[in-house]
Structure 1
Amino acid sequence: MSITPCRPQWKGTLTGRERFRRQMHWLPVDRSFNMEFGYWQENFREWDIFVDNHITSNAEADLFFNFDRISSVGGNVWMSPPFAPRILEDRGSTVVALDASGLWVERPKDGHSTIPIYLRSSIVTPDDWQREKELRFQRGGANRQVDLESLRQSYPPGRDFPVGVNCGSMIGVIRNMLTFEGLAYAIYDYPEMLEDMVETACLLVEDFLDQVLGQIDFDFASGWEDICFKNGPAITLDFFQQVVVPRYQRIGDKLHRHGINLWYTDC
């Protein structure tokens, strides 16, 4: 279904790509680059402006509001294949399910957005990790290959909108696999296992970057961790400095060698 914008695009004298690059480098612009963080899935079912105009996703909302276009390229840089989700127990208003990260999770049946209750993880000990690493974290397979020709067609050098390269996660995806509590224990009980997980995450991201850097003219890099909370970070500062930062430095070196000097991470 085609989306009809609800308003004209904001006026400007620069292309979206020029505007983004200039604004992010503290240079004068015609106006601010206009983008939106996004909406909860319930918004598309409950807000009249979305329901009446059949807007069902953030991508459609961006077109509907005529925001400046921005895109990002990511790869298969983590667990592959994931765990097969399935329902384990019906508890009335909630169900206990195995999710794609291998977690036993209790969640509401009606599907409303809420913080789920994580009951246990499939990966706790080094033996668990070695078993799942062999099955789900192999490098170099066909499932890790990038369709470069498709990317070149979608993001040619002369495009008028910015495109970023996603650099994955060094510790947030591990937290998702172990649970917050499991990660906290692993730092002290199994530090070697945890560092091997971080190294695995870094290698998979590096493999992806080696395929796309120099092939697509990227404007920025992005990442995700989500490990900061109101009472402090999810991991110790020593672990972050000694284990995570060196991997970030390796990724940063690759980005810098290809002229990418904008890199943000959702911390």
Structure 2
Amino acid sequence: MGDEMTPRERLLATAAFEPTDRPVRTETIGFWPETLERWHSEGLPPEINEDVSAYLYSGFDPQLPVPLGADKHPGFDPVFEEEVLEEDERFTVKRDISGSTVKVLKDGASTIPAWLDSPVKDSESWDAIKPRLDPVTPGRLEVAKALIEFDAERNWPLCAYFTGLFGTHRHLLGFNRLMIAYKRQPDLLHEISTHWVALWKGVFAGLASMRRPEMASLWEDMCYLNGPMIGPRVFEEFMSPYYHELIGFLKGELDIPIIGLDTDGRCTELIPLFVRAGVNMLWPFEVQAGMDVLQVRRDWPRQFVIWGGMDKRALANGRAAIDAEIERVVPPMLARGGYIPAIDHSVPPDVPFADWQYFLDRVRMVGGGRGD
């Protein structure tokens, strides 16, 4: 294509498997804090100290990201106030913004907190927390309103990131209690799920009244190294009906074109269920969990956009490894359409800053010109 597309046009064309002036440039979902700290000693300006500034510095296609909970909490408004409950020389036990009690290292390392407790245990505790999940809480969409006003010409895609159903169940009950609840408290889970649908129907209707989003994306993270955390039978019983109802509303009533889903790990077994429910964009396809985007595209030629699938570990193994990984994935995937070149998770701290820049230059040249 001769004319330069806007970021909004480029994303929509990619999702429709249509030609674009160049690939979407969003080559990672994020950066470890320790990565940016390391890079400050290797030439990264010190003011580039979190994901958004690093995205802009790296020349990513801009978007208007509307944060609606996702990995941080299940969409609470207001969130819980963080509260330190106890601490010693190494650890802090605190209540976080999701209402969960967690144990974290005090040295600032990016490790997964140790879960100790979560706010929902039964119907009574669920009823107590439900007011935080009111779709019309005043101020819930203030960030979205400001972003929409900023992009009055609609050049950037409006992308809303919200908490999926498995993610909501896990935030509220905790993983261990959730696994038991599938067997012992199914009615509670169905009650939460019914409210989940009502919550996000209301929130997205309010958002669409200001401007229709180009993408609504669910955070799930419901798979691990060897497969999904729940099997297809449990998914069909506890998630599919609610997915179908909500996604049907988002696509049918609100005409939102892209329904994304973020899950780490090996998700192969759940892809048919995601697609059947209406998901048409998936990421990040972790290579170390056995995800091969070339095979996924052969199995699913045009059903969904693939974002990711390049092994992040290659970026720490030198430029020959970077070149090999780019050549393995990018040309064949772009030839099939519906692909956003990216590594398969956040950039870890063993990646040199110079090699991150090399990776961006190379992947963009292979994808059709370097550009600024």
Which of residues 199, 208, 215 in structure 1 aligns to 2:203? 208
Whether the 8 Å CA contact 1:22–1:28 is kept in 2: the answer is yes
Shift in Å at residue 96 of structure 1? Answer: 1.5
Aligned partner of 1:99 in structure 2 is 96
Whether the 8 Å CA contact 2:212–2:256 is kept in 1: the answer is no
Cα distance change on mapping 1:244 and 1:44 into 2, 3 Å? same
The answer to whether structure 1 residue 141 and structure 2 residue 137 are counterparts is yes
CA deviation vs aligned residue, 1:115-140 (integer Å, no higher than 9, x gap)? 2211222322233222333x533453
Shift in Å at residue 12 of structure 1? Answer: 6.9
Deviates more, 1:169-178 or 1:106-115: 169-178
Cα distance change on mapping 1:216 and 1:107 into 2, 3 Å? same
The answer to whether structure 1 residue 128 and structure 2 residue 128 are counterparts is no
What CA distance in whole angstroms lies between the structure 2 residues aligned with 1:31 and 1:43? 28
Cα distance change on mapping 1:155 and 1:248 into 2, 3 Å? farther
Aligned partner of 1:38 in structure 2 is 30
Amino acid at match of 1:80: D
Aligned partner of 1:63 in structure 2 is 56
What CA distance in whole angstroms lies between the structure 2 residues aligned with 1:211 and 1:227? 28
Whether the 8 Å CA contact 1:206–1:251 is kept in 2: the answer is yes
Shift in Å at residue 236 of structure 1? Answer: 4.2
Whether the 8 Å CA contact 1:96–1:107 is kept in 2: the answer is yes
What CA distance in whole angstroms lies between the structure 2 residues aligned with 1:170 and 1:40? 26
Matches within 5 A, 1:75-86: 75=68, 78-86=75-83
Aligned partner of 1:182 in structure 2 is 177
Whether the 8 Å CA contact 1:19–1:29 is kept in 2: the answer is yes
What CA distance in whole angstroms lies between the structure 2 residues aligned with 1:159 and 1:196? 38
CA deviation vs aligned residue, 1:17-68 (integer Å, no higher than 9, x gap)? 2222222221222221111321011222221356544211111112212222
Whether the 8 Å CA contact 2:86–2:94 is kept in 1: the answer is yes
What CA distance in whole angstroms lies between the structure 1 residues aligned with 2:206 and 2:197? 14
Shift in Å at residue 92 of structure 1? Answer: 2.3
The TM-score normalised by the length of structure 2 is: 0.62
Q: CA RMSD in A?
A: 2.6
Cα distance change on mapping 1:246 and 1:49 into 2, 3 Å? farther
Whether the 8 Å CA contact 1:164–1:220 is kept in 2: the answer is yes
CA deviation vs aligned residue, 1:207-234 (integer Å, no higher than 9, x gap)? 1111122531432221111111123323
Whether the 8 Å CA contact 1:180–1:234 is kept in 2: the answer is no
SS at match of 2:89: coil
SS at match of 2:86: strand
- Structure 1: 5+ residue runs without aligned partners? 1-10
Aligned partner of 2:362 in structure 1 is none
Whether the 8 Å CA contact 2:189–2:238 is kept in 1: the answer is no
What CA distance in whole angstroms lies between the structure 1 residues aligned with 2:162 and 2:85? 34
Percent identity (aligned): 27
The answer to whether structure 1 residue 227 and structure 2 residue 222 are counterparts is yes
Shift in Å at residue 206 of structure 1? Answer: 0.8
Amino acid at match of 1:188: K
CA deviation vs aligned residue, 1:87-107 (integer Å, no higher than 9, x gap)? 222232112212222222111
CA deviation vs aligned residue, 1:130-159 (integer Å, no higher than 9, x gap)? 2333x5334533244657754542233x33
Aligned partner of 2:151 in structure 1 is 155
Which of residues 205, 228, 252 in structure 1 aligns to 2:247? 252
Which of residues 63, 66, 87 in structure 2 aligns to 1:73? 66
SS at match of 1:260: coil
Shift in Å at residue 196 of structure 1? Answer: 1.3
Whether the 8 Å CA contact 1:155–1:216 is kept in 2: the answer is no
Which of residues 160, 168, 177 in structure 2 aligns to 1:165? 160
What CA distance in whole angstroms lies between the structure 1 residues aligned with 2:97 and 2:150? 29
What CA distance in whole angstroms lies between the structure 2 residues aligned with 1:91 and 1:149? 42
- Structure 2: 5+ residue runs without aligned partners? 264-372
The TM-score normalised by the length of structure 1 is: 0.83
Report 1 or 2 for greater relative contact order, CA contacts < 8 Å, sequence distance ≥ 6.
2
SS at match of 2:108: coil
Cα distance change on mapping 1:51 and 1:261 into 2, 3 Å? closer
Deviates more, 1:47-56 or 1:114-123: 47-56
Amino acid at match of 2:108: G
SS at match of 1:171: helix
Cα distance change on mapping 1:115 and 1:50 into 2, 3 Å? farther
Amino acid at match of 2:260: Y
